[in-house]
Amino acid sequence: MRTRLFCLFAIVLISAVIPLYAEGKVLPGYDGLFRGNFVLQPIHLYEKSAEELGIMRNEIFAKYGRTFKTQKYRDYFTSKRWYKADPNFKDSYLSVTDNQNVEMILSFEKPALTQAAIRNRVLQVIEYTGKSRQAVFADSEYLMLNDGNSNRGFYGESVDAMYKWKVIGNWIYAARNTRYDSTVVFLLLDHESAEIIKAYSY
């Protein structure tokens, strides 16, 4: 019991200390997007160009003073009043949130598969399921999405909603517009297990 409590205490302590350590390494005067523990979501990224995504990703490192070998990033960040190169920079300066944000950006900037390859896999698998959510790709244009909560019939039963979909990065972007509302959904899929790994609704 004591060992278990000690381990739990250690985890809580580390979780509290790491963000403080990372925050202490941020350059003085940094006033960019990634202040504090700002967490990126797909809605922040899906309309960004490759150039914009690259700058956003590198800003996460720049706020700690990383020196850039790529000229365009070196020129861009040296023009910022808050930026100052730190020769002692280490990747370990990044917080857990920073690393999550880097991964989120990469999922749009440098997808694992081409758009065509993802579309082909989706149309081969057809049906994906996740926690209280099911996506069935009817064809190359529409998918049926049932989340068990937001889509309700007259008697309160759960009903499927039709969404137009396309591939953006590693994500499926699905949009639905009606007279009463509009919904955008982002799905990250595992094609081998036919699972919905992550889902965001707006």
Q: CB under 8 Å to 84, separation ≥6 — which residues?
A: 27, 65
Instruction: Give the whole-angstrom CA distance, residue 45 versus residue 193.
Output: 26
Q: Tell me: the pLDDT tens digits for 119-142? A: 999 999 999 999 889 999 999 999
Q: Tell me: the pLDDT tens digits for 23-66? A: 679 999 999 999 988 999 999 999 999 999 999 999 999 999 99
Q: Tell me: the pLDDT tens digits for 82-95? A: 999 999 999 999 99
The token duo for 52 is 């914009």
Identify the pLDDT of residue 139.
96
Domain span holding position 58 = 2-109
Number of domains in the chain: 2
Is beta strand 161-168 parallel, antiparallel or unpaired with respect to 142-146? antiparallel
Do 173 and 90 fall into the same domain? no
Do 75 and 8 fall into the same domain? yes
- Which residue among 109, 131, 151 closes a domain? 109
Do 16 and 104 fall into the same domain? yes
Residue found by looking up tokens 């700058």 in the block = 55
3 state SS of 154 = coil
Ordered alpha helix ranges (H), 79-155: 96-109, 115-125
Q: Tell me: the pLDDT tens digits for 162-200? A: 999 999 999 999 999 888 789 999 999 999 999 999 999
Burial 48-71 (b: 16+ CB within 10 A, else e): beeeebbbbbbbbbbbbbbebeee
Instruction: Give the whole-angstrom CA distance, residue 107 versus residue 97.
Output: 15
Q: CB under 8 Å to 61, separation ≥6 — which residues?
A: 89, 94
- Which residue among 109, 124, 159 closes a domain? 109
pTM above the 0.85 mark?
A: no
